[in-house]
Amino acid sequence: MPNPSRSRGRATAILAAGVGLIFALSACSPSSGAAGPAPAGSSAASSLPDAHVHGLSVSTTGQVLLATHDGLFDVTKQPAAKIGATNDLMGFTGGTDHGVLYASGHPGEGSDMANPLGLIRSTDAGKTWKKLSRQGESDFHALTATKSGIVGFDGALRTSPDGKSWTTVAADFVPAVLAGNPTSDTVLATTPQGIRRSTDGGKTWTSVDSGPVAQFAAFASPAEAVGIEPDGTVHISADAGATWTRKGKIQDTVQAVAAVKGPEASPTIWAATASGIVVSTDGGVTFGPADAS
């Protein structure tokens, strides 16, 4: 007679393996047939490259930035405006102050930066970048800023109080995305096995057993978090990722997510998809083209 516990364990392992394959396939390759990550129906589409989006940032001033294989783009403007040098920005996150950005990846054509970039920082919203650390050593595919520093993953999970000196953290997971808030020390890591959560800036981690198997995550505020499954199903947390509530669904392949505190009780959620940027102003229940919001 089959052992129910063993069957459940096998099913869980198969599910994790399948989700892991989805995570891996979507993490570093352009979406087939993608027309660029510009808002559907807007003139921004013609000026963006057919490149995979690795990061999405929405500032307190409403500026929307996309980090891509072909550099950084301001899609608040129409047509979208290229910002700064062309670098392959694999990791990307905003800092505490307006205009502060952190990134990692590989130098683009004509760049004099090391390969990989290590951690670089901009204090002018991406116009110029300065080297911080690990040049020629690290390509941080997952990157986020917290109240106490930077958390990044370059094959190992690392934390830094200043972006210059690093401590390697013992971790039994590989994050697809690291999500933090610059005014909090809570960090979420999305993995094929489920969400992992840290409340001390990435030093120690616990599993969120009741949470979704999210591929993308973002904080709208220190307490409000968004998680999106590989199939586009949206979940919201009001307690910094400890518990989750299912909302709506994004009907497209999601490439990057950002969230900001909304004017009402619900966060505003932005998602870069294979065919454009969509936004939700009702906490993830419904989504529409960004230029129509």
The string of pLDDT tens digits covering residues 62-104 is 899 999 999 999 999 888 899 999 999 999 999 878 889 999 9
Question: What is the count of structural domains for the chain?
Answer: 1
- Structural domain of residue 126, as residue ranges? 4-292
Look at strands 130-133 and 119-122 and give their pairing.
antiparallel
Q: DSSP 3-state assignment of 9?
A: helix
Domain of residue 124, CATH code: 2.130.10.10
Please return the burial class of 5, using the count of CB atoms within 10 Å of its CB with bins 0-12, 13-18 and 19+: exposed
- pTM comes to 0.84
**Using an 8 Å Cβ cutoff, are 189 and 247 in contact?**
no
The β-bridge partners of 197 are 188, 206
| Per-residue model confidence as pLDDT tens for the chain (293 residues) | 444 444 334 333 323 333 343 344 344 433 322 223 333 333 333 344 455 899 999 988 889 999 999 999 999 988 889 999 999 999 999 987 888 999 999 999 888 899 999 999 999 999 999 999 999 999 999 999 999 999 999 999 999 999 999 999 999 999 999 999 999 999 999 999 999 999 999 999 999 999 999 999 999 999 999 999 999 999 999 999 999 999 999 999 999 999 999 877 889 999 999 989 999 999 999 999 987 54
Give the side-chain half-sphere CA count within 13 A for 263: 3
- Cis peptide before 182, with omega less than 30 degrees from 0? no
**Using an 8 Å Cβ cutoff, are 70 and 107 in contact?**
no
How far is Cα 43 from Cα 187, in angstroms, rounded to an integer?
A: 36
For residue 51, the model assigns a pLDDT of 59
How far is Cα 90 from Cα 67, in angstroms, rounded to an integer?
A: 8
